[in-house]
Amino acid sequence: MGRTFEFPGFVDVHVHFRDPGLAAAETTASGAEAAGRGGFAAVVTMPNTNPAGDSVEWVRAQIDAAGLPVKIIPSACITKGRLGREVADLEALAEAGAAFFTDDGTYVSDDKVMEEAMTRAAQLGMAVCDHALVPCGGVIRDCALARRLSLPVIPVSAETDAIARDISLCRVTGCRLHIQHISTAAGVEMVRRAQREGLPVTAEATPHHLLLSCDDLAADDANFKMAPPLGNSEDRAELRRAVKDGTLMFATDHAPHPPATKASGFLTSANGIVGLETAIGITYAVMVEEEGMDIDSWAKAWWELPRWIVAGSERIIGNTRICIDEENPQKVDVSRFASLSRNCPYDGMRFSCRPLEVQP
Site for Zn ion contains 166 (CB under 5 A): no
Q: Which residue among the candidates 12, 103, 130, 253 is catalytic per the annotation?
A: 253
State the nearest-atom distance from the C-beta of 317 to Zn ion, in Å.
27
Q: Which stretch binds Zn ion (CB under 5 A): 100-108, 231-239, 302-310, 341-349?
A: 100-108
SS (H, E, C) 154-182: CCHHHHHHHHHHHHHHHHHHCCEEEECCC
| C-beta atoms surrounding 137 within 10 Å | 8
Asked if 204 is part of the footprint of Zn ion (rule: CB under 5 A), the reply reads no
In terms of CB distance, is 82 or 131 closer to Zn ion? 131
CB of 90 to Zn ion, least distance (A): 19
Handedness of CA 147, 186, 163, 130 (dihedral sign): positive
Q: Which is nearer to Zn ion, 82 or 354 (CB)?
A: 82
Residue 112 · residue 78 · CB < 8 Å:
no
Helices (H), the chain: 28-37, 56-64, 90-96, 111-124, 144-149, 156-173, 185-196, 207-211, 233-244, 265-268, 279-283, 295-307
Which residues are CB-neighbours of 68 under 8 A, at least 6 positions away?
Answer: 28, 29, 32, 33, 36
The footprint of Zn ion on residues 302-341 (CB under 5 A) is none
Checking DSSP bridges between strand 176-179 and strand 127-130, what pairing results, if any?
Answer: parallel
**Closer CB to Zn ion, residue 48 or residue 62?**
48
Looking at 95-103, 127-135, 318-326, 332-340, which segment touches Zn ion (CB under 5 A)? Answer: 127-135
Measured distance CA(110)–CA(135) in Å, rounded:
12
Question: Which one, 37 or 262, has the nearer CB to Zn ion?
Answer: 262
Pairing status of strand 40-45 against strand 71-72:
parallel
Handedness of CA 129, 201, 242, 164 (dihedral sign): positive
In angstroms, what is the minimal distance from the CB of 270 to Zn ion? 12
For Zn ion, give the closer residue by CB, 15 or 214: 15
Residue 234 backbone phi and psi in degrees, to 5? -70, -40
| Nearest-approach distance from CB 104 to Zn ion, in angstroms | 4
Q: Does 104 bind Zn ion (CB under 5 A)?
A: yes
Q: Which is nearer to Zn ion, 206 or 352 (CB)?
A: 206
CB of 131 to Zn ion, least distance (A): 4
64 is catalytic: no
Residues in contact with Zn ion, counted by CB under 5 A, come to a total of: 2
CB 29, CB 269: distance < 8 Å:
no
CB of 22 to Zn ion, least distance (A): 16
Distance CA 141, CA 143 (A): 6
**Between the CA atoms of 92, 97, 99 and 104, what dihedral angle is there, to the nearest 10 degrees?**
-50
Q: How far is the CB of 292 from Zn ion (least distance, A)?
A: 30
The verdict on 33 binding Zn ion (CB under 5 A) reads: no
Residue facing Zn ion at closest CB distance: 131
246 CB contacts (<8 Å, ≥6 apart)? 297, 300, 301, 305
Query: 272 vs 355, which CB is nearer to Zn ion?
Result: 272
Candidate ranges 97-105, 115-123, 240-248, 347-355; the one touching Zn ion (CB under 5 A): 97-105
Nearest residue to 41 via CA among 319, 271, 336, 254: 319
| Interface segment toward Zn ion; rule CB under 5 A; list 93-101, 102-110, 134-142, 287-295 | 102-110
Segment interacting with Zn ion (CB under 5 A) among 64-72, 99-107, 182-190, 339-347: 99-107
The residue from 16, 18, 82, 131 that contacts Zn ion (CB under 5 A) is: 131
Q: Map residue 73 onto helix, strand or coil.
A: coil
Active-site annotation, residues: 253
Residues at the site binding Zn ion, with contacts judged by CB under 5 A: 104, 131
